[in-house]
């Protein structure tokens, strides 16, 4: 069973519908007990870092996720803000993140004198894989839909599965053990997103 975490912030309907196309056994849930029994977890997210962390804590989901991911090693996919919450902190807000990845969530800033791309980074963009990984199988030429003003700065480059460019190179996809994440929105990325979500189900 795949549990999609409903913590009051995110694009849940689109994620649910995309996974239904793949025939996944799904639960849209805010219940810690369902998190505990899930075979895989998905943490979507659109919005502010502190609101996301507060909502997880208030619903008892932060402790349930820590136990599932860190102790039982349940695979989890974070999407956009969901991936950013895996980091230790964000320049956007003050609350600590989940801290599963040695990374910080930082604002887009660009060198002085260089072209200043628009922020938020919004629209279709390609990714460049840093190596082979089951999550990105068949996606060497993948194009995905992004909407974000912040990105993860990983302290261990081996955690970065793929990068993208928006004025600067940034982490578009990451993995540390059973924890994987995408800065882009696979649920809005048509055939490429469908392939990535299918890859996650097969991992």
Active-site residue list: 80, 185, 187
Write b or e for each residue in 19-30: b if 16 or more Cβ atoms lie within 10 A of its Cβ, otherwise e.
beeeebebbebb
What is the per-residue DSSP string for 57-101?
HHTTHHHHHHIIIIIS---EEEETHHHHTTSSEETT-SS-----S
Nearest to 125 by CA among 192, 176, 43: 192
DSSP state of 201: H
Determine phi and psi for 168, rounding to 5 degrees.
-130, 165
The number of beta carbons lying within 10 Å of the beta carbon of residue 122 is 13
């Amino acid at each position: 069973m795949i549990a999609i975490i409903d913590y009051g912030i995110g694009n849940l309907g689109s994620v649910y519908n995309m996974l239904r196309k793949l025939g996944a056994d799904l639960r849209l849930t805010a219940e810690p007990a369902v998190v505990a029994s899930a075979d895989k977890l998905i943490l979507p997210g659109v919005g502010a870092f502190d609101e996301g962390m507060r909502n997880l804590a208030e619903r008892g989901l932060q402790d349930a996720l820590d136990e599932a991911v860190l102790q039982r090693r349940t695979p989890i996919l974070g999407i956009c803000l969901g991936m950013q919450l895996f980091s230790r902190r964000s320049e956007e807000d003050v609350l600590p993140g989940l801290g599963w990845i040695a990374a910080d969530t930082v604002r887009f800033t660009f060198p002085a004198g260089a072209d200043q791309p628009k922020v938020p980074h919004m629209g279709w963009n390609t990714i460049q894989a840093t190596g082979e990984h089951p999550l990105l199988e068949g996606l060497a030429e993948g194009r995905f839909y992004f909407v974000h003003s912040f990105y993860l700065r990983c302290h261990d480059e081996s955690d970065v599965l793929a990068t993208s460019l928006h004025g600067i190179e940034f982490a578009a996809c990451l993995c540390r053990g059973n924890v994987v994440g995408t800065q882009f929105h696979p649920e809005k990325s048509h055939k490429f997103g469908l392939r990535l979500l299918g890859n996650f189900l097969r991992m």
